[in-house]
Amino acid sequence: MRARELTADDLLPYQRLTRLAFGGGPVTEQEARPFSPGLIPLGISSADLPGGADGVIAAGAQIRRDRITLGGGTADCGGIGGVAVHPAHRAGGLFGELMTAVIARCATEGMAFSMLYPANVAIYRALGYQIVSQVQKVQVPLLDLQRLRPVPGTHLEAVTAQSFERVHALYRELTAGDNGMLTREGPLFPTGHPGGTWEAVLLVGEDGTDRGYLSFTRTGGEEGIGLEVHEVLGRTREDRLALLRSLGTWSTVTEQVRIRVRAEDPLLDALPGGRTRMDPQLQPWVMVRVIDTAAALSARPAPAGLEGTLRLVVTDDTVPAGTARAAGEFVVRIADGRVVVDLEGAADGSDVGGVSGSVHLDVHAAALLLIGGRSIADAERLGLGARADAPARALLDTLLSGPRPAVMDQF
Ligand SMILES: CC(C)(COP(=O)(O)OP(=O)(O)OC[C@H]1O[C@@H](n2cnc3c(N)ncnc32)[C@H](O)[C@@H]1OP(=O)(O)O)[C@@H](O)C(=O)NCCC(=O)NCCS
């Protein structure tokens, strides 16, 4: 295999490749430094290819070490970014070769999923990635918010370096039950206040409990939008109303705010006016690939009271057999709030009785479903490969039910 892990010596050639592919200023020597510890950079040297040049990376990509939420559990997820092939080496199959190595590395790292924001959906679909969500932003006229009544028993506090951890703790707590949200840990997410133009206010209850927060950047007011709101998270509907009311105070200096929201965000249900509209900017798709079916399923807690066993057969003809751990015939046992997954035949056999039937999924249906919040009927509607016996269908659908997947961070 020609793909290899890139080292500090490859950083400048890799930066030249990504600037070439995506634009940006020239690469300067000062930028030479090791890759971030949160990233696994992979690439193919031009010199290893027929007629290739020394000191040039022909194809490169980075795998982020991320964790995502899975309805109360979490799983490791390889976030893919910076995928580029040098123009001298395009249209020769290097993309597929590189991405196959990326998928294999995600598997070696024990990741359950891989996630990316595609510039082109089809080329990633061919490798088993499936659209599961889309970044969503809405434009909200502030006149709609300005007349919201005060919510008694709460007050706002400015977020400083000292109080930033309270924002992070709220984010973790209030998105823990979601599907697909990054947990924002580890070296890729610094633990301190982001600084720069990032601002936030905390909503605090009378008893001192943190109830929610609103984070934003004040912008120049282009198109009448003076505030980019990164997120509005509150424990309850009342808390979200209190935060929206605080947004309404900006109505003297700007007409509208743009708010990044999750799929079916509860915030949308708290907006009082009827003039909210989807932001017309192109919003990226979110694609996910299952790397390890057993890890993806067992990371998720089972709903209380749900019990049963099903056979799950996942097929994956998008990458060579053995590249990932998505494909296989699994026995999925759900009991006592846990999901235990064994390869068929590898299960100890002690309690494999009572199997409620089988579910067959291709790798695309598996991605759509295992990230959570969707049903086998959704996979069928999209024309993905999915079929199931009735009791097994009900069991798997119940296990995977929950909020539709959403991701707020872009990479
Ligand atoms: C997109 C890119 C990575 C493709 O690399 P490549 O090595 O030329 O691609 P391959 O030869 O391996 O082709 C892979 C598949 O993608 C398709 N493809 C390649 N470039 C494409 C393009 N610009 N538009 C649509 N499809 C394209 C090929 O037809 C091929 O499909 P096939 O297997 O069905 O024939 C490369 O052109 C590039 O670096 N572009 C600029 C940066 C970029 O867009 N990166 C991806 C960001 S998500």
What is the pLDDT averaged over residues 314-326? 98
The CATH superfamily holding the domain 292-400 is SCP2 sterol-binding domain (3.30.1050.10)
User: Cβ atoms within 10 A of the Cβ of 26, count?
Assistant: 8
**17 CB under 6 A from ligand 1?**
no
Residue ranges per structural domain of the chain: 4-111, 136-278, 292-400
What region does 63 belong to: left with phi over 0, alpha with psi -120 to 50, or beta? beta
Q: Which two tokens stand for residue 281?
A: 């900017």
Q: Which two tokens stand for residue 48?
A: 């290893």
Per cent of the chain over pLDDT 90 is: 88
Q: What is the CA(88)–ligand 1 centre distance, in A?
A: 13
Q: What is the CA(243)–ligand 1 centre distance, in A?
A: 44
Mean pLDDT estimate for the chain: 94
- Give the torsion through C-alpha atoms of 119, 125, 129, 134, to 10 deg: 50
Residue 102 has pLDDT above 70, yes or no: yes
Cα–Cα distance measured from residue 248 to residue 240, given in angstroms and rounded to the nearest whole number? 12
What is the pLDDT averaged over residues 98-117? 98
What is the pLDDT averaged over residues 170-174? 98
pLDDT confidence bin for 349, thresholds 50/70/90 = very low
**90 CB under 6 A from ligand 1?**
yes
Tell me how far the alpha carbon of residue 6 is from its chain's centroid. 24
Q: What is the pLDDT of residue 54?
A: 97
**85 CB under 6 A from ligand 1?**
yes
Cα–Cα distance measured from residue 101 to residue 88, given in angstroms and rounded to the nearest whole number? 21
* CA proximity to 371, closest of 268, 295, 313: 295
**87 CB under 6 A from ligand 1?**
no
Residue 337 has pLDDT above 90, yes or no: yes
Same-fold call for 4-111 versus 136-278: yes
What is the pLDDT averaged over residues 264-268? 95
Q: What is the CA(267)–ligand 1 centre distance, in A?
A: 38
Q: What is the CA(56)–ligand 1 centre distance, in A?
A: 19
The CATH-assigned architecture of domain 4-111 is 3-Layer(aba) Sandwich (3.40)
Q: What is the CA(285)–ligand 1 centre distance, in A?
A: 17
Tell me: the pLDDT tens digits for 114-139?
A: 999 999 999 999 999 999 999 999 99
Fold of the CATH domain 136-278: Aminopeptidase (3.40.630)
**81 CB under 6 A from ligand 1?**
no
Per cent of the chain over pLDDT 70 is: 97
Q: What is the pLDDT of residue 348?
A: 52
